[in-house]
């Protein structure tokens, strides 16, 4: 999905996975990453927070939450965060 820039499709897949297993932290992180790329940082923040509730030491969720905080605070489009 990333190489094809199909973040909407990937988000739908992660949502479907979460319907089957709502406790799956990895799927929450994946959804959060997709939402960041779709410039939906508030929704992404919630996904990362849920992931951290499930697994408080999840580094990807911590990093994603930080990125979402930056987007919300600074209003920077996610595309500009790609380095």
Res 80: pLDDT = 53
Higher per-residue confidence, 13 vs 1:
13
Q: Is residue 40 predicted with pLDDT exceeding 70? A: yes
pLDDT in tens, 57-81: 999 999 999 999 998 988 766 555 5
CB-based contact 43:65 (threshold 8 Å):
no
The alpha-helical segments, DSSP class H, found in the chain are 7-20, 25-37, 41-54, 59-74
Helices 25-37, 59-74: axis angle to 10 degrees equals 30
pLDDT band at 4 (very low <50, low <70, confident <90, very high): low
pLDDT at 83: 43
User: pTM here?
Assistant: 0.84
């Amino acid at each position: 999905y990333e190489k094809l820039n199909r973040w909407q499709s990937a988000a739908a897949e992660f949502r479907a996975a979460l319907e089957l297993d709502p406790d799956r932290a990895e799927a929450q992180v994946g959804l959060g990453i997709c939402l960041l790329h779709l410039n939906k940082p508030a929704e992404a923040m919630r996904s990362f927070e849920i992931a951290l509730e499930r697994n408080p030491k999840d580094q990807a969720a911590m990093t994603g939450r930080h990125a979402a905080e930056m987007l919300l605070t600074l209003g920077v489009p996610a595309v500009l965060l790609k380095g």
